Structure 1
Amino acid sequence: MEEIVLGRTGLEVSRISLGGLFVSSYGAAFDQAREAVNRAVELGINYVDTAPMYGNSEEVLGRILPDLERPMIVSTKLGARPQPFDPRSAKALRESFEESCRLLGRETVDILMIHEPDRPRQFDWWEDFDAATGPVMGVLQALKEEGRIRFLGLGGTTAYEMARLLRTGKFDVVLTAFNYSLLWQEAAHELLPAAREHGVGVVVGSPLQQGALARRWDEVDAGARWLSKPRREQFRALYRLLDEIELPLPELALRFVLSNPDVHTVLSGVRSATEVEQNVAAAGRGPLSDGLLSRIAEIAAMVPFRPHDEPFALPFGRPYAGSPPAGPI
């Protein structure tokens, strides 16, 4: 597995990493999760991301990590714990970190991120957003001075607001989800350039866009109410390209993200050792050709920004009125 330096952190991370959500109660059963993580380490994956929001992911990883043949770089997050969560309480933030360490079975964490630092009406972290000031920064700095964390990060889902935070120069790593994939590329406009300017390590989550880029043609073509007409036409253009180049959509999606030199590692949401092997094999086939990247750019430009009638959380794979029968992805 190829490794790359994660921005100014100096950490050498594998190009494919593990998304902890999928080893939680929301994802695989414990034995299956343990097998997947062990296989990932065998194949050279050395970084895993988790969070209090990801079910019992921290607890599951805390049972798996001590028995691995090699240590992994670990990131977790602040946010949503303890309940009711107060993002302006230094005491609550410290308690959240200590609980993460207890569950993970570690005294230290490599990267601690602020979870959803930018989503409107979710968590009120900031006294001054553009200066990134608030109690959370004092907690992060104290933990770093104590040697409990090594690097500060952001993990969120609204690309433009996170770019504003990156421009403060206060963060070492950014995890952006749902904003950089084959058809959704908002992060490319401001977030990735801001990260490059400040030497920030870039982690991309959800390269398959919440499963959207792993669904069948008939689900997209059925005309679901939540799928806007421009997006449906965009999918049709993508499927025509896939027929032409004869590549599986999940492989194309993963290799597309890895083809961007501004992206350091991609979180892989795997539920089994087989899925780990498939993703590692796809990554090993290398970046896409310039010609193919140009074709993808033309398709992405069909819907450069999210249509107003497109929900943020796409319900791919969920039943809806008039949906086709369920089947394999």
Structure 2
Amino acid sequence: MGEFALLTPRKIAGTDLMVSPIGLGTVKLGRDKGVKYPNSFTIPDDQAARHLLDLSRNLGINLLDTAPAYGRSEERLGPLLQGQRDHWVICSKVGEEFNNQTGQSYFDFTPEHVRLSIERSLQRLQTDVIDILLVHSDGNDLEIIQRYGILEQLELLKAEGKIRAGGMSTKTVAGGIEALKRSDIAMVTYNLDYQDELAVIDFALAEEKGILIKKALASGSLSQQPEIDPVRASFDRVLGHQGVSSAIIGTINPEHLSANVETVVTSMQQQGSR
């Protein structure tokens, strides 16, 4: 894989899951409408997608992040992962749906939809179990948790063996902490430009719950500062927190992916392995 070492897996606190310190986000494999990236992109074909997955695997990445809201991401990953399912820890979502015709999302957090969504995701991903299932919040974290009992629904799915861990991709501090009280994992936003949800990560560390990070590189929109490498500084901050298991990086550029992994390895070596 080049001149730098493989990524060292980390345990997601409170679970038996071991994940690479960065995971591959796959929204760009399935959706190019209504996404907040600074530059336009073309959804890669199967050959390019397979190359990206092979490269990720060779670099030591084992965590894949997908969702029904990512367009065709799940249904594309299913065939692409055949024969290598045991290597990957798959994180998918429930709650947000994407309409490819309108380019808009809508949300459904009812127990009926949770059941429909997980069965559909299992079929699309061509697997018997999804390792991590997160509620895809619309921003009203506490209302979703309290009104729909959705995290209890995830516990039922875990008891049935359809998922290994459950949680929520949250947007508020109160929602993130409440999700951790009732489930295994919270996915929160944390980067150089935004640290408002740091309290959730601190809570997870204290309570031995899992944390995944979204937008660790601010979706490619990090503010620039002279004489500072924003990518290196981002990984130093995000992965330097003892409560963080992994940061999701949504790239389809092989060079960017390799460079990110090399930066993470260097950062981890200098910080000392945990």
State the TM-score bracket (shorter-chain normalisation). 0.7 to 0.9
Q: 1:138 to 1:191 in 2, by over 3 A?
A: closer
How far residue 274 of structure 1 moved from its aligned partner, in angstroms, is 1.9
**1:181 aligns with one of 182, 187, 191:** 191
> How has the CA–CA distance of structure 1 residues 255 and 163 changed in structure 2, closer, same or farther, with 3 Å as cutoff?
same
Which runs of structure 2 are paired with 1:257-276 in the superposition (5 Å)? Answer: 257-276=238-257
Alignment of 1:38-77 (within 5 A): 38-68=54-84, 71-77=87-93
- Structure 1 pair 5/257, CA: closer, same or farther in 2 (3 Å)? same
2-structure distance, mates of 1:126, 1:201: 18
Find 2:161's aligned residue among 147, 151, 154: 147
Name the SS of the counterpart of 2:87 in structure 1. coil
- Give the distance between the partners of 1:123 and 1:164, measured in 2 at CA: 7
- For the aligned residues, what is the CA RMSD? 2.5
What percent identity do the matched residue pairs reach?
Answer: 25
Letter in 2 for 1:35: H
- Aligned letter for 1:74? I
Q: CA deviation at 1:281?
A: 0.6
Q: What does residue 44 of structure 2 align with? A: 29
Partner of residue 20, structure 1: 26
Q: Which residue of 2 aligns with 1:87?
A: 109
Secondary structure of 1:41's aligned partner: helix
Cα distance in structure 2, aligned partners of 1:265 and 1:192: 12
One-letter identity of the residue aligned with 1:185: Q
By how many angstroms is 1:181 displaced?
A: 0.7
CA distance in 2, matches of 1:207, 1:137: 25
- For residues 181-213 of structure 1, the C-alpha deviation after alignment (integer angstroms, 9 at most, x for no partner) is 11211122x211211122111111111112211
Paired residues of 1:156 and 1:175 also in contact (CA < 8 A): yes
The alpha-carbon deviation at position 66 of structure 1 amounts to: 1.1
**Aligned counterparts, 1:212-227, within 5 A:** 212-213=221-222
Check conservation: 2:69, 2:98, Cα contact below 8 A.
no
Corresponding residue for residue 179 of structure 2 = 165
SS in 2 for 1:239: coil
In the other structure, the counterpart of 2:226 is: 240
Residue by residue, what CA displacement relative to the aligned partner does 1:144-182 show, whole Å, maximum 9, x if unpaired? 11111111111123334312332xx221111113xx111
Question: Aligned partners of 1:123, 1:186: CA distance in 2, in Å?
Answer: 17
Determine the C-alpha separation between the residues in 2 that align with 1:252 and 1:288: 14
1:7 is matched with 13
1:285 deviates by 0.7
Q: Which runs of 5+ in 2 are unaligned?
A: 1-6, 33-40, 100-105
Distance (Å, rounded) in 2 between the aligned partners of 1:288 and 1:240: 24
Aligned match for 1:109, one of 130, 141, 145: 130
Using the TM superposition, give the Cα deviation of residue 86 of structure 1 relative to its aligned residue in structure 2, in angstroms. Answer: 3.5
Cα distance change of structure 1 residues 86 and 258 upon mapping to structure 2, 3 Å threshold: closer
Please give the alpha-carbon distance, in whole angstroms, between the structure 2 residues aligned to 1:123 and 1:163. 10
Displacement after TM superposition at 1:141 (Å): 2.3
Distance 2:221 2:235 in 1: 13
Residue by residue, what CA displacement relative to the aligned partner does 1:277-309 show, whole Å, maximum 9, x if unpaired? Answer: 11111111124979xxxxxxxxxxxxxxxxxxx
Partner SS for 1:152? strand
Change (3 A) 1:112 1:67: same
Equivalent residue in structure 2 for 1:206, among 194, 215, 218: 215
Instruction: Say whether the 8 Å CA contact 1:21–1:55 is kept in structure 2.
Output: yes
Worse overlay, 62-71 or 30-39: 62-71
Secondary structure of the equivalent of 2:225? Answer: helix
Larger Rg: 1
Q: In structure 2, do the counterparts of structure 1 residues 85 and 154 end up closer, same or farther at CA, with 3 Å as the change threshold?
A: closer
Please state how far the C-alpha of 1:135 moved relative to its aligned partner.
3.8
SS at match of 2:127: coil
Shift of 1:46: 0.8
Aligned partners of 2:77, 2:142: CA distance in 1, in Å? 26
* Higher normalized strand content (fraction of residues): 2
Matched residues in 1 for 2:173 and 2:151: separation? 20
TM-score (norm 1): 0.69
